[in-house]
Amino acid sequence: MEHSLDASRREEGVKAQEGRLVPKDEWLQKWQTNNIAFHVEQGHPFLRKYLDIFLNGRTGLKLFFPLCGKAVDMKWLADLGHSVVGVEISESALKDFFSEQNLSFAEETVPEIPGAKLFKSTSGNISLYCCSIYDLTSTVIGKFDGIWDRGSLVAINPCDRERYANLMLSLMNRQCCYLLVTCSYDPSKHKGPPFFVPESEVRHLFGKCCDIKCLEKKDSLSRIPEKWGLDYFWEIMYMLVLK
Ligand SMILES: C[S@@+](CC[C@H](N)C(=O)[O-])C[C@H]1O[C@@H](n2cnc3c(N)ncnc32)[C@H](O)[C@@H]1O
């Protein structure tokens, strides 16, 4: 009995999240007030642990960071000889990235995207677009050998997931390795973001075009603000490759 009550509460949580829309200003406000608990100062442990699988012996890769924030992994991978492209709506996040990583950069306009800016490291191997991810297409940024999706699919509005997934698929080249980190928790307790993305959703979004393998499932409750009131929080990483 208690079990079915739990299940229906959880289902209500999923429904509530499905209707949630996070306006751009809410994200900008998070950056303005330094409310960025999602930022990982030391780089994400999954990326470090699975680097060899991600690279698969390849060098000089072109890597994409959707909704990149100021992820320190971008500098780490660039230092390993890869070129990194990111996209982020917050200009201050991108400027923080360059200043905190001691990188000089130049600002350019993007002729194909009115209002967008491109921040390019002087060395040329990190290009960060300041615009909405939905403004980008493979015509503008090309296709990628690898995608690191952490805090991205789980952060976009749930109603935009099909559009987002189709964009990611359009950015994958034949050899692309797409590492996707999702999270699992009781959605009746926290409204998101991050949103709860079950494995069935990952399979629904990508399963037609990709082989999907779960590589890791880690208890990350200790990293989550206590005020969310969660009693479990799992980070789950999948590897997606085109069929
Ligand atoms: C949860 S944070 C994750 C940042 C980064 N991936 C990380 O792991 O630290 C999500 C980021 O997406 C940005 N964002 C939200 N909606 C966006 C959109 N439509 N296009 C580009 N960036 C967006 C937010 O400003 C925020 O920095």
Pocket test for ligand 1, best of 20, 21, 22, 27 (most atoms within 8 A of CB): 27
Residue 219, CB half-sphere, CA atoms under 13 Å: how many?
4
Residue 10's identity, in one-letter code, is R
Give the integer Cα–Cα distance in Å for 25 and 234: 28
Backbone conformation region of residue 201, classed left if phi is above 0, alpha if psi is from -120 to 50, else beta: alpha
Pocket of ligand 1 (CB under 6 A): 27, 38-39, 67-69, 71, 87-90, 93, 132-133, 150-152, 155
- pLDDT tens digits along 90-115: 999 999 999 999 999 999 999 999 99
What's the pTM? Answer: 0.96
The full set of domain ranges for the chain reads: 2-35+42-81+143-242
Q: What percent of the chain has pLDDT over 90?
A: 91
| Predicted pLDDT at 8 | 86
* Distance from residue 223's CA to the centre of ligand 1 (Å): 18
- pLDDT tens digits along 162-216: 999 999 999 999 999 999 999 999 999 999 999 999 999 999 999 999 999 999 9
CATH class of 2-35+42-81+143-242: alpha beta
* Distance from residue 2's CA to the centre of ligand 1 (Å): 37
